[in-house]
Amino acid sequence: MTMMNNRKRPKELSDKCHVILDRVLSTTCFILIYELAIFFFRRHALISNQIIHPSVPISCYTYYSMASSSVSATFLGFAPSLTLSSKSAHQVSSRFGAVSVGWSRRSFPSLRSSRFRIYAAQPETVDKVCEIVRKQLALPPESQLTPETTFTALGADSLDTVEIVMGLEEEFGISVEEQSSENITCIKEAADLIEKLLQNKPPSS
Amino acid sequence: MSNALKNVKVAPNSATLAEARHRVFDFFKTACRSLPTVMHIYNLDDVTSISELRSTVASEIRKNSHVTNPKVIDMLLFKAFEELKNVVDMAKQRHHIIGQYVVGKQGLVQDRATKDQGISPFLKNFYNSNYS
């Protein structure tokens, strides 16, 4: 009986330890996730310039609680193996590293797509511009219009150029300012300017 | 009015021909931007289109393109702004607009509406000739 008791008590004790460990570990993980959620929510609010409650600053409290909860989680996660110090340090740094990589990854895709969109003028825009130019200058339909032909080469004077720009304004629903309308000399520049204005324009209802 | 026609003050005389030219283009742009309003208030949709009116305005400007004196150009611009203000403020009426700016070289209004599609071709060609 005593032998069995001796065998039983460490089991009970280890079982209790395991149960306690499980509970504490789960709560710590829950706290960690909660802190991460709060942290990202505040960061998102800061980035999008929304109003956040100024009482709790984002930096000190959440960082400290995150750090403490993550450290404690790793502590308890590795408690059975009893090798705490170096592994927990690695885990904390890797966890933070994963978080920082996640942030930088968020900002990349929009930058890449917007950069691609600026340089290419779509062919249907160029076609529409050519159509308007042809109708304005009364060109015969078989005349060729490359994107690089200037308006003066087609026989347009300055008033014709302004009229072409006005026609483009009406067609695409954009509004060209003064300084950019002076520089339009060829079809390609007009198409690029239209593309840029169509991007920057807020979506109309 | 979004084109700020009410706020147009008479600017001091243009110093050079280039400045007068710039003001002519500004006037043309203001006129073109107010064309949709004009089409709407005078119900010109079945008689003409915005491109036609724009080319009419451009041809009116071109009639005086031989002028080189900046002061004469300023005077012409003053009259042009006054005319534009009258048109946009609806101080004129529809028949004024049609008679002065829409009627083409044949002296007749070119029909653009769909209301004529039911008529026989005899009536459509009636003005051209009796023996088509």
Assess whether pLDDT exceeds 80 at residue A102: no
Q: What is the pLDDT of residue A109?
A: 44
Phi-psi region of A52 (alpha: psi -120 to 50; beta: other; left: phi over 0): beta
Q: Using CA atoms, how far apart are residues A192 and A121, in angstroms rounded to an integer?
A: 6
**What are the chain A neighbours of B59 within 8 Å (beta carbons)?**
none
Which is higher by pLDDT, B50 or A173? B50
SS (H, E, C) chain A: CHHHHHHHHHHHHHHHHHHHHHHHHHHHHHHHHHHHHHHHHHHHHHHCCCCCCCCCCCCHHHHHHHHHHHHHHHHHHCCCCCCCHHHHHHHHHHHHHHHHHHHHHHHHHHHHHHHHHHHCCCHHHHHHHHHHHHHHHCCCCCCCCCCCCECHHHCCCHHHHHHHHHHHHHHHCCCCCHHHHHCCCEHHHHHHHHHHHHHHCCCCC
User: Is the CB of B33 inside 8 Å of chain A's CB atoms?
Assistant: yes
Q: What is the pLDDT of residue B81?
A: 93
- Give tens-digit pLDDT for B14-73: 888 888 988 999 999 999 999 999 999 999 988 888 988 998 899 888 888 888 889 999
Q: What is the pLDDT of residue B110?
A: 59
Categorize the per-residue pLDDT at A117 as very low, low, confident or very high, splitting at 50, 70 and 90.
Answer: very low
Lowest mean pLDDT among A76-80, A121-125, A198-202, B12-16: A76-80
- Give tens-digit pLDDT for B71-107: 999 999 999 999 999 999 999 999 999 988 888 655 6
Categorize the per-residue pLDDT at B120 as very low, low, confident or very high, splitting at 50, 70 and 90.
Answer: confident
Cβ <8 Å between B58 and A169: no
Are the beta carbons of A145 and A133 closer than 8 angstroms? Answer: yes
Phi-psi region of A59 (alpha: psi -120 to 50; beta: other; left: phi over 0): alpha
Comparing CA positions, the residue from A166, A9, A7 lying closest to residue B36 is: A166
Cβ <8 Å between A167 and B54: yes
Q: What is the pLDDT of residue B116?
A: 53
Q: What is the pTM of this model?
A: 0.56
Q: What is the pLDDT of residue A31?
A: 79
- Angle, in degrees to the nearest 10, between helices A85-119 and A187-200: 130
Burial of A134 (0-12, 13-18, 19+ CB in 10 A): middle
Q: What is the pLDDT of residue A82?
A: 43
Which is higher by pLDDT, B60 or A144? B60
Predicted-assembly ipTM surpassing the 0.90 threshold: no
Point out the residue among B29, B61, B62 whose CB comes nearest to the CB of A166.
Answer: B29
Point out the residue among B32, B61, B62 whose CB comes nearest to the CB of A166.
Answer: B32
